[in-house]
Structure 1
Amino acid sequence: MRRLEGKSALITGGSRGIGRAIAEAYAREGARVAVNYVADERAALAAAGGEGVALRADVTDPVELRTLFAEAERALGGLDIVVANAHPGLGHGLLTELTEATIDQQLAVFKSYILSLQEAGRRVRDGGVIIAISSAATRLALPTTGLYASIKLAIEQLCRALSRELAPRGVRVVTLSPGLARTDRIAGVTLPQGAAAGDATSPFARPAEPEEVADAALFLASSEARWVNTSTLYVNGGSVYAQ
């Protein structure tokens, strides 16, 4: 069953980690996928599949981001699904020790999400889906993820507002909130005190595999989630309840 047959999707930050897993899942289910990347074109092309395209853009550059959306729309003949996933740099650190450079960089990331949601809202066809990737960190009081979690929480609220704006066109807007996943970023994440590197606070005693998060993103993009809107889907193995 190819649940996204005939659909076109853009995934920002889709050449690695969760973004890549989502791109691969969408392509496997029949979508034509535009995979945004910064450095690894080969990985982006592999994730996009035979019918997809790889598009280079630094999403923190407003000109490049807007060009990305225009190129994706043109290459795919329109957009039905947008996954705003790219979050360059995590901005981790104690709040009292964050440098202005880190703060400015993460504010640029936040701006990139705002612009991505703007572009998606303007371009996604009637009946489409916009998914923003949030984080279980929004539900945790961790001293080193305050800036990152605050940006993700603000993104969730933007999606709620956008869902109301786009509802007359039948466009759904949701957020997907994964917990810690086994990607190349996991080495840079500071776990809560007492949590072993393998359990990442989940009752299942392990981080998620990217494909497990991608399955949830596939559900949200499919007609099976046609009545899911304005909400956040938590995909974290129960970690947000283990604190």
Structure 2
Amino acid sequence: MFTSSAFSQTDNLNSWYQYTVSAKLNEKWSATALSQYRSYDVVKDGRLFLVSGYLERNFKNGISPAAGYMFLILEPYTDVMEKKIRYENRPYQQLTIRNKMGNVSVMHRYRAEERFLTNPDDFILRLRYLISLKFPLYKNDGTEVLYGIFKNEIRMNVVKDEQFDSNRITAGLGINLGKNSSLELGFINQVGADDTANYTVVSFKNNFDFSKNND
């Protein structure tokens, strides 16, 4: 198992585990919460832990503005191969546009986030653009069972000596386990200003629709 080096590093193996729960509250509003853990190896060598949640306003044209908050514990290695702990408070605002091209679901997400970091104290305003494609691969009796995923996200710092933060490419497969749950397995390649990191990804999702109960 690979442990990171300090500068210009290439991480050959990192793990990324995520749980997401989304709920449609009514025809206009939905809420999402997630937790995520990343490690430099399979599990033990922690790299990052976060919890996040946001509230989203849904319009009929597929446009959804949202606002949320994220708390992170970062565990980067220093140049002498020692870890330090950094905490981050991150409010953010985003705009999501959803549509379809044939049987492919397309999502564009524009996000602005205000990053308040400790050890050392720092503030970074960062902009992100994500395009996500989801396409069916296998159906059983008209129900989607297996689907493919492709994503690309670029992240840029607004006021910083190095404006480019990173570019993240994701490819994977998803399996619908039932009406409200899915499991996604994938691979992420993230190219930063000073390093490159590769992740294997395991993501579990729950989706609920409470709007029917409100009708």
TM interval, short-chain normalised: 0.3 to 0.5
Q: Which has the higher helix share?
A: 1
TM-score (norm 1): 0.31
Q: Which has the higher strand share?
A: 2
TM-score (norm 2): 0.34
Q: Highest Rg: 1 or 2?
A: 2
